[in-house]
């Protein structure tokens, strides 16, 4: 059985390598689908009836070496999310790569598809491994395969650079996790299983911090987020969607896993996670607002949404600490649901953005405009993604944010003095994040898709052929389903969370589910109202004259596309208000007073990543300067290098002689 399994994957990989470039997409679907069906099949009972399962997998040709797969509700949930996203990514990958097939050698296309399959498989492994070393191995596999995906367009130097930056940071994460596992494990048994015993007898926060840093790098929590806004724009769009949709969630999975093992110290951990997450959310969305690059903007939104998910985790832990069952339940469930939701709308947005970037050959929002007319389907999907990422009803993003709000509001009355203050601050933070997201996405959609084209490439943009929208339509169906019938999705989630995290006497679900029913009802009424009013409007305007006249510009009759509001001007007032966190680096050449025949002047601005500047760039520049001072030791002459150990020995000798050692 096991032999058959491994053999199948080796054979299909060989097949991918063998077939011509145009066929590789089709062939790689086979192993993907097989893995997808099998893993979903085992994950389903874990999520929907909370039956955790364990099974052994004997590795062929190694004697009796086995790998243990264990799937509980938490793993099952993540597996299903990963699988859905992998399916839609695969469906979109063909379109996304279509333009590249001629630029790259066939072997590189094969490597790309193989790494995609490997990334999917390694994420499934990450979700199912409890023991430290297989877990870290899968973690490493995930890093390497995603690295290969990021540097797909390896002809550009910046892409290579960001890829290597990504690789380095991920190994930092790996190292931190390795340390955390080594600290926590007993001899012979390292892994998540040994965490509860360790937490029960030691101080919990330091170890949690170690895990949090390790997983936080993957998830993109500040201040470890700096790889994210560089890597996503470099990667092809389907890879960005996949990485942002589910790969960074593996960090979240890890944090959930560790929290489920924590025994006492939920309060410190909860407050810590909550504060970091709110900061992550606000920082992410503020940075997103000032970005010119569409994909970078989306990347910063991933950071923001990780913040929202983290807020859920923080609230859940605080709820556990203070024995507020509703808060614990709704916090964790809201966070988990947001994992799923974000994986849906973020991949939708990245795929739509990918279509835009392929069609216009630019990622700069200020050079787009009027695309809704040229690419109506892409525009529709981007709009839908924008609405749901902003958490607006009746779409899915609202449901998860509502769960968080509900948890806070249900508990604010009996939360105690400091609890109330904390909760009201969390409400404030979450609202601010929501408002800023609305600001950011009215900018992104409004400037890129509406108005008139700002460049010639935009005027010539065309939509990819309709079959490429299959994946996007699947996502849309899910977004609408979660938005309008949240009970179907939230109910199993709530009972899974109840079983996993809340130790005694699970909270009652009925009143919570009733609220969600009311939300479905309101959503339905809202849609009926929109349709009704729109039809009424048609009824009224049908018999009247309809005329077409240019947009009013105060009587000015030669408006040009460049006179429109741009993304930069749109973002200007928020950038001005948020002062220290966000800044634009402006470069300009001014006309000096003495110039009679002025040369052409220009003006450019780049958003500055402040945290990266202060936490990474400056310390490292200082370090490099320090190291350069002692570089005189490195002369490149062998006799000097022989002298150094000799001097060292002498030093040891004299120190021993003087009894100083």
Axis crossing angle, helix 106-128 with helix 2-18, rounded to the nearest 10: 150
List 19, 432, 608, 615, residue binding another protein (CB under 8 A)? 432
Q: Contact letters (x/-) for another protein, 353-392, by CB under 8 A? A: ----------------xx-xx-----x---x---x--xxx
Please report how close the Cβ of residue 404 comes to another protein at its closest, in angstroms.
9
Decide: is 521 part of the binding site for another protein (CB under 8 A): yes
> For the chain, what is the radius of gyration of the CA atoms?
27
List 59, 182, 525, 622, residue binding another protein (CB under 8 A)? 525
Q: Are strands 66-71 and 603-608 parallel, antiparallel or unpaired?
A: unpaired
Comparison of 214 and 394: residue with beta carbon closer to another protein? 394
Decide: is 310 part of the binding site for another protein (CB under 8 A): no
Decide: is 462 part of the binding site for another protein (CB under 8 A): no
Cβ atoms of residues 310 and 608 within 8 Å: no
List 38, 200, 428, 650, residue binding another protein (CB under 8 A)? 428
Count interface residues toward another protein (CB under 8 A).
Answer: 84
Residues between 402 and 421 that touch another protein (CB under 8 A) = 402, 405-406, 408-410, 412-415, 417, 420-421
Please report how close the Cβ of residue 566 comes to another protein at its closest, in angstroms.
8
> 70 - beta bridge partners?
54
User: What is the rounded distance in angstroms from the CA atom of residue 495 to the CA atom of residue 211?
Assistant: 27
Cβ atoms of residues 316 and 341 within 8 Å: no
Cβ atoms of residues 368 and 455 within 8 Å: yes
Output phi, psi for 587, to 5 deg: -120, 130
Q: Kindly indicate which of the ranges 28-36, 517-525, 604-612, 621-629 contains the residues binding another protein, using the contact rule CB under 8 A.
A: 517-525
Comparison of 424 and 460: residue with beta carbon closer to another protein? 424
Three-class secondary structure assignment of 15-54: HHHHCCHHHHHHHHHHHHHHHHHHHHHHHHHHHHCCCCEE
User: What is the rounded distance in angstroms from the CA atom of residue 367 to the CA atom of residue 304?
Assistant: 25
Decide: is 439 part of the binding site for another protein (CB under 8 A): yes
Decide: is 553 part of the binding site for another protein (CB under 8 A): yes
Decide: is 650 part of the binding site for another protein (CB under 8 A): no
Q: Are strands 53-58 and 66-71 parallel, antiparallel or unpaired?
A: antiparallel
Please report how close the Cβ of residue 600 comes to another protein at its closest, in angstroms.
23
Both tokens of 78, joined, read 């993540």
List 189, 541, 617, 656, residue binding another protein (CB under 8 A)? 541
User: What is the rounded distance in angstroms from the CA atom of residue 478 to the CA atom of residue 471?
Assistant: 11
List 10, 164, 424, 623, residue binding another protein (CB under 8 A)? 424
Comparison of 107 and 553: residue with beta carbon closer to another protein? 553
Decide: is 486 part of the binding site for another protein (CB under 8 A): no
User: What is the rounded distance in angstroms from the CA atom of residue 329 to the CA atom of residue 570?
Assistant: 39
List 251, 307, 451, 464, residue binding another protein (CB under 8 A)? 451
Decide: is 574 part of the binding site for another protein (CB under 8 A): yes
Comparison of 253 and 398: residue with beta carbon closer to another protein? 398
Output phi, psi for 178, to 5 deg: -60, -45
Q: Do you know the residue count of the chain? A: 661
Residues between 576 and 595 that touch another protein (CB under 8 A) = 577
Comparison of 6 and 577: residue with beta carbon closer to another protein? 577
Both tokens of 218, joined, read 């993957």
Strands (E), 59-208: 66-71
First to last CA, the chain: 62
Decide: is 522 part of the binding site for another protein (CB under 8 A): yes
Comparison of 133 and 526: residue with beta carbon closer to another protein? 526
- Enter the DSSP assignment of 246: I
Both tokens of 547, joined, read 């005329």
Please report how close the Cβ of residue 548 comes to another protein at its closest, in angstroms.
6
CA dihedral 159, 582, 173, 198 (to 10 degrees): -160
User: What is the rounded distance in angstroms from the CA atom of residue 457 to the CA atom of residue 362?
Assistant: 9
List 564, 582, 607, 609, residue binding another protein (CB under 8 A)? 564
Cβ atoms of residues 461 and 370 within 8 Å: no
Please report how close the Cβ of residue 358 comes to another protein at its closest, in angstroms.
21
List 78, 242, 381, 398, residue binding another protein (CB under 8 A)? 398
Decide: is 515 part of the binding site for another protein (CB under 8 A): yes
Q: How far is CA 275 from CA 25, 247, 407, 422, 624, in A?
A: 44, 23, 17, 10, 33
Instruction: Using alpha carbons, select from 520, 527, 607 the residue that is nearest to residue 290.
Output: 607
List 189, 569, 604, 656, residue binding another protein (CB under 8 A)? 569
Please report how close the Cβ of residue 519 comes to another protein at its closest, in angstroms.
7
Q: Residue 405 in 3-state DSSP?
A: helix
List 1, 61, 548, 580, residue binding another protein (CB under 8 A)? 548
List 158, 514, 604, 621, residue binding another protein (CB under 8 A)? 514
Decide: is 544 part of the binding site for another protein (CB under 8 A): yes
List 141, 271, 561, 608, residue binding another protein (CB under 8 A)? 561
Decide: is 534 part of the binding site for another protein (CB under 8 A): yes
User: What is the rounded distance in angstroms from the CA atom of residue 614 to the CA atom of residue 617?
Assistant: 6
Decide: is 283 part of the binding site for another protein (CB under 8 A): no
Comparison of 417 and 603: residue with beta carbon closer to another protein? 417
Please report how close the Cβ of residue 432 comes to another protein at its closest, in angstroms.
5
Comparison of 275 and 427: residue with beta carbon closer to another protein? 427
Please report how close the Cβ of residue 187 comes to another protein at its closest, in angstroms.
50
Cβ atoms of residues 388 and 483 within 8 Å: yes
Decide: is 284 part of the binding site for another protein (CB under 8 A): no
């Amino acid at each position: 059985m096991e032999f058959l399994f491994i053999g199948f994957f080796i054979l299909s990989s060989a097949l991918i390598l063998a077939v011509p470039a145009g066929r590789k997409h089709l062939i790689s679907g086979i192993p993907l689908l097989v893995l997808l069906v099998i893993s979903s099949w085992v994950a389903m009972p874990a999520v929907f009836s909370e039956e955790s399962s364990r099974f052994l997998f004997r590795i062929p040709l190694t004697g009796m070496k086995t790998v243990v797969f264990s799937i509980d509700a938490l793993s099952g949930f993540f597996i299903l999310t990963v699988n859905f996203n992998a399916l839609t990514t695969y469906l979109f990958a063909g379109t996304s790569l279509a333009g590249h097939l001629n630029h790259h050698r066939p072997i590189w296309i094969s490597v790309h598809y193989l790494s995609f399959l490997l990334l999917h498989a390694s994420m499934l492994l990450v979700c199912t491994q409890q023991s430290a070393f297989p877990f870290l191995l899968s973690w490493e596999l995930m890093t390497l395969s995603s690295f290969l995906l990021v540097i797909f367009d390896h002809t550009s130097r910046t892409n290579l650079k960001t890829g290597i930056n990504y690789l380095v940071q991920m190994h930092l994460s790996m190292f931190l996790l390795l340390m955390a596992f080594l600290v926590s494990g007993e001899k012979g048994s390292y892994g998540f299983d040994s965490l509860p015993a360790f937490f029960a007898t030691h101080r919990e926060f330091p170890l949690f911090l170690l895990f949090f840093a390790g997983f936080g790098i993957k998830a993109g929590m500040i201040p470890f987020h700096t790889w994210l806004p560089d890597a996503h724009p470099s990667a092809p769009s389907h890879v960005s969607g996949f990485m942002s949709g589910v790969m960074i969630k593996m960090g979240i999975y890890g944090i959930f896993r560790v929290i489920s093992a924590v025994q006492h110290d939920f309060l410190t951990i909860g407050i810590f996670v909550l504060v970091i997450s709110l900061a992550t959310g606000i920082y992410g969305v503020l940075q997103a607002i000032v970005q010119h690059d569409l994909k970078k903007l989306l990347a910063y939104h991933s950071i923001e949404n990780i913040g929202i998910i983290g807020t859920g985790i923080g609230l859940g832990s605080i709820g556990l600490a203070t024995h507020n069952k509703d808060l614990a339940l709704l916090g964790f469930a809201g966070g988990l649901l947001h994992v799923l939701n974000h994986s849906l709308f973020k991949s939708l947005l990245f795929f739509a953005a990918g279509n835009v970037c392929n069609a216009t050959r630019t990622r700069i929002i200020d050079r787009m405009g009027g695309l809704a007319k040229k690419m109506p389907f892409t525009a529709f999907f981007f709009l839908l993604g924008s609405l749901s990422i902003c958490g607006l009803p009746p779409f899915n993003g609202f449901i998860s944010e509502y769960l968080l709000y509900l948890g806070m509001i249900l508990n604010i009355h009996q939360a105690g003095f400091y609890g109330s203050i904390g909760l009201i601050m969390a409400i404030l933070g979450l609202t601010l994040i929501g408002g800023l997201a609305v600001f950011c996405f009215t900018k992104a959609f409004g400037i890129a898709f509406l108005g008139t084209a700002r460049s010639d490439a935009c005027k010539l943009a065309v939509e990819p052929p309709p079959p490429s929208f299959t994946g996007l339509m699947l996502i849309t169906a899910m977004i609408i389903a979660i938005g309008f019938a949240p009970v179907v999705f939230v109910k199993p989630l709530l009972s899974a969370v109840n079983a996993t995290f809340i130790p005694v006497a699970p909270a009652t679900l009925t009143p919570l589910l009733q609220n969600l029913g009311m939300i479905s009802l309101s959503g339905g009424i809202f849609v009926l109202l929109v349709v009704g009013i729109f039809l009424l409007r048609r009824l009224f305007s049908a018999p009247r004259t309809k005329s077409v006249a240019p947009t009013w510009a105060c009587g000015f009759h030669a408006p040009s596309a460049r006179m429109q509001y741009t993304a930069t001007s749109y973002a200007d007032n928020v950038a001005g208000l948020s002062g220290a966190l966000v800044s634009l680096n402006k470069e300009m050449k001014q006309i000096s007073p003495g110039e009679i025949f002025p040369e052409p002047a220009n003006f450019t601005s780049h958003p500055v990543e402040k945290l990266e500047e202060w936490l990474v760039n400056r310390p490292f520049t200082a370090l490099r300067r320090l190291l350069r001072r002692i570089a005189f030791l490195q002369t490149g002459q062998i006799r000097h290098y022989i002298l150094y150990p000799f001097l060292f020995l002498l030093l040891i000798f004299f120190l021993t002689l003087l009894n100083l050692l």
